[in-house]
């Protein structure tokens, strides 16, 4: 083994991933979301919000992997390979994109607090849809050993709300 390899080994420690709130509002337990797919964590563990405005920001540094054609959900991935689904409102797929203005597309690089777009909370309510928004880590079991939630209730978009301890 050369001197360089002996003294300059790469540090293999993994860094945690910081998660910021994608919107202004109140954080609620995922278990309280009135949709069993999310409340029973079938899609993964994460956060739920009751938004008080429709401005949506990137919760992480990474890449947009998908914007659903109905604009109600955005898939993202961190450089560490953590997959994230941001689902705006509940049963909002039925609105076929009405009330949503998403300004990113698949392949876009994003940084924490970059604008992802907006959604019209009044329109969702008018159409009888829940505004509850969910941020879940869809490959949680594969990539994450722990979700550390910061003590927060009311949050502003961009506020750090937790961190992921990677496996």
Burial class (CB in 10 A: 0-12, 13-18, 19+), 115: middle
Task: Check: CB of residue 16 under 8 Å from CB of residue 79.
Answer: no
Task: Check: CB of residue 110 under 8 Å from CB of residue 58.
Answer: yes
Residue 51 carries which DSSP code? Answer: E
Query: Which residues, in sequence order, are bridge partners of residue 149?
Result: 162
87 is an active site residue: yes
Phi then psi dihedrals of residue 2, to 5 deg? -70, 160
How many CA atoms does the CB half-sphere of 41 hold within 13 Å? 11
**Helix segments in 119-162, DSSP class H:** 121-126, 140-143
- Tokens standing for 56? 């949506």
The active-site residue out of 71, 72, 87, 129 is: 87
Catalytic residues: 87
């Amino acid at each position: 083994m050369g001197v360089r390899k002996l003294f300059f080994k790469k540090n293999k420690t993994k860094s945690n991933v910081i998660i910021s709130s994608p919107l202004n509002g109140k954080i609620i337990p995922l278990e309280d979301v009135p949709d069993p797919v999310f409340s029973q964590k079938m899609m993964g563990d994460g956060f739920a919000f009751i938004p008080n405005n429709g401005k949506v920001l990137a919760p992480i540094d990474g890449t947009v992997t998908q914007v659903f054609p109905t604009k109600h959900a955005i898939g993202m991935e961190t450089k560490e390979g953590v997959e994230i689904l941001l689902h705006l409102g509940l049963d909002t797929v039925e609105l076929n994109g009405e009330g949503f203005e998403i300004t990113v597309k698949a392949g876009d690089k994003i940084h924490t607090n970059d604008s992802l777009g907006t959604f019209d909370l009044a329109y969702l309510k008018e159409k009888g849809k829940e505004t509850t928004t969910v941020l879940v880590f869809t490959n949680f079991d594969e990539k994450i050993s722990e979700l550390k939630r910061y003590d927060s209730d009311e949050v502003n978009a961009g506020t750090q709300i937790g961190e992921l301890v990677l496996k």
